[in-house]
Amino acid sequence: MLFVNQKTVHFFFLRFLFVLGIFSFPCIAQSQVCTGSLGDPVVNITFGQGASGPTSYPPPSGYTYTSSTCPNDGYYTITNATSGCFGNNWHTVTSDHTGKGNFMLINASYEPGDFFVTTVSDLCPNTTYEFSSWILNVLAVAGIKPDIIFYIEKPDGTVLASFDTGPINISSSPEWEKYGVLFTTPSDNATIVLRMRNNSPGGNGNDLALDDIAFRPCGAKVTADIQGNADTVDICETDTSTQFAFSGDVSSEYQSPLYQWQISTNEGNSWQDISGATSTSYLRLPVSAPGSYWYRLTVVEDIFENIPSCRIASNLLIINVHSLPVADAGPDRVFIEGYPVTLSGTASGENISYNWIPDLYINNDSTLNPVVTPPVDMIYTLQVKSGFTCVTKDSMKVRSVKGLFVPNAFTPNGDGKNDHWRIPYLDEGLEADLKIFNRWGQLIYHVITANVSWDGKVNNIPQPAGTYIYTINFNNNSMLPLKGTITLIR
């Protein structure tokens, strides 16, 4: 006597009703897509990146590999571009459907037949899958249109599902189109055979590109949202207090669902289970490290708990943590009455804007290099704001003086008082070229800087007491040259 678990019977009955509502088995005239939610691709054929060679997908009796990106009838190649083929009767195709890798380029044989065959195993049993592929008609002029039939079969040839694209139209520019069909795997999880047949003859046309062939489990609807927010939220790295409440909604068609929230930090290339996040709600604690954090809720019937390929995933919830922009107000400056100062601010970041605070005695507060003329000492702050309202500030000081004071004596005797000859408030914007000469006219000190500091030595040798001559030329012609004497007192 055969005993059947009632829970399993109930599950498969619900599965049957779900499949019956979204797809039927006969050959159809319109591409099928999953109307519920999808899981991760169990099979994802992308044809790789970079250099390539022949593959095992085309039947060896029907098609021959060539390295040419303009294959002749009955030939195929794996490439990331094609151009100038057959007197430009083909489109120039500069990338695959995603722009990230290769595609399979097929010039149909004269006789209709299979051009792609592969086997797929380890699918989830008694589960609806969406098979999909991207196809491009590479013909740019009138000719035979590709007409592709997809067959999903058991190894014994039993057809589980089929789909006919119908004639794929010629377009004025390259257009990748997605085609797909839904099917249900056998309960014994048998190997599935995918067969693509070109229903048109080769010759003048019937040439196509094929890319991104995928099998993804299709289940009832699973949705997720961030309470009080859109599905994508942008915050700044300084936001260390905001928490986000995630919630999921799962179709009642699931009998005994198990839940698992997942996170991806590489834009969905891989996912990790979040420990302990096994209900329909999840509280995301603050994360200050910049990056894009993707979240989703996955669901699987408890009888398939240990088969990851059976999981169905919700829509994405994305928290983008943005770096603060960079603000540098530049060095402190000196405004000598009558000689305006140009500030040297710098800024960088994502879609930034900036302004100076306060907007007093400044010719333009929204440029990085404004001209300022403050009558009193002033602190100016450069505020930089990103497109995501992340703000950084940096300040500098402008000292306001009536004129340039040049000391006429100093005492470099090592007592810590007046040991260096310095010119206070000599702003770098004046581009001062200062020279000191001894009584014999020899140049003993030379700087082109705002930082004048002579210790009374030449090559670390103390110079004798006496009178020395200095000259100051201003390279930006802002001030008249200066000349005078310095008394070195020992």
Is residue 98 domain-shared with residue 213, that is, in the same domain?
yes
Q: Is the torsion defined by CA of 422, 423, 424, 428 positive or negative?
A: negative
Tell me the CATH number at 459. 2.60.40
Euclidean distance between CA atoms 340 and 374, whole angstroms: 9
Provide the pLDDT for residue 189: 67
Q: Which amino acid is at 35?
A: T
Tokens of 120: 């797929």
Q: What is the pLDDT of residue 13?
A: 39
Domain identity same for 226 and 267: yes
pLDDT of residue 78: 95
Residue 6, SS3? helix
pLDDT on residue 334:
94
pTM of the model as a whole: 0.72
CA 213 to each of CA 79, 196, 218, 270: distance values in angstroms, whole numbers, following the listed order: 16, 11, 16, 19
Strands of 302-377 (E only): list them. 312-313, 317-322, 326-328, 333-336, 341-342, 346-348, 353-357, 371-372
Domain hosting 189: range is: 22-219
Q: Do 169 and 266 fall into the same domain? A: no
Element of type H or E holding 20: helix 6-22
pLDDT computed for residue 204 by the predictor: 81
Q: How many structural domains compose the chain?
A: 4
Query: Rounded to whole angstroms, how far apart are CA atoms 50 and 122?
Result: 29
Q: Is residue 275 part of a domain?
A: yes
CATH number, residue 394: 2.60.40.10
Same domain, 430 and 467: yes
The pair of structure tokens assigned to 231 is 């599905």
Could you tell me if residue 170 is inside a domain? yes
Per-residue pLDDT tens digits for 382-420: 999 998 889 999 999 999 999 989 999 999 999 999 999
Q: Using DSSP bridges, classify how beta strands 409-410 and 482-488 pair: parallel, antiparallel or unpaired.
A: parallel
CA–CA distance, 105 with 76 (Å, rounded to integer): 5
* Residue numbers of the chain with a pLDDT score lower than 70: 1-31, 189-190
Does one domain contain both 282 and 382?
Answer: no
CA distance 119 to 72: 27
> Distance of alpha carbon 350 from its chain centroid, rounded?
13
Burial status of residue 207 (CB atoms within 10 A of its CB: 0-12, 13-18, 19 or more): buried
Q: Helices (H), strands (E): how many in the chain?
A: 1, 38
User: Model confidence over 165-209: pLDDT tens digits?
Assistant: 999 999 999 999 999 889 888 887 668 899 999 888 777 888 999
